[in-house]
Amino acid sequence: MTTMTTAMMTAMMTGTMATMATVQTVMVTVTVMVTVTAMVTVMVTAMAMVTVTVTAMVTGMGIADSLMSSDRDRF
């Protein structure tokens, strides 16, 4: 009887500990995934901003260039 109870208790404790370890692993995995996703999002956003900035600069330079060249043509 006592041996049975001890065995059951041990099994329950082991099971609980295993479950806890699994939960912890899942939590860590989820945390890592969320962190990676956030980092990727930030990187994509930064890249988009850089692209927009570069495009605006190139466009601006193109406009300035055409303005200057038309001025040159005019005079």
Residue that the structure tokens 């990187």 belong to: 43
- Among the residues of 1-75, which ranges form H helices? 2-74
Cα separation of 16 and 18, whole Å?
A: 5
Residue positions counted in the chain: 75
Whole-model pTM?
A: 0.49
Could you read off the pLDDT of 12-71 as tens digits, one per residue? 888 888 888 898 999 999 999 999 999 999 999 999 999 999 999 888 888 877 777 766
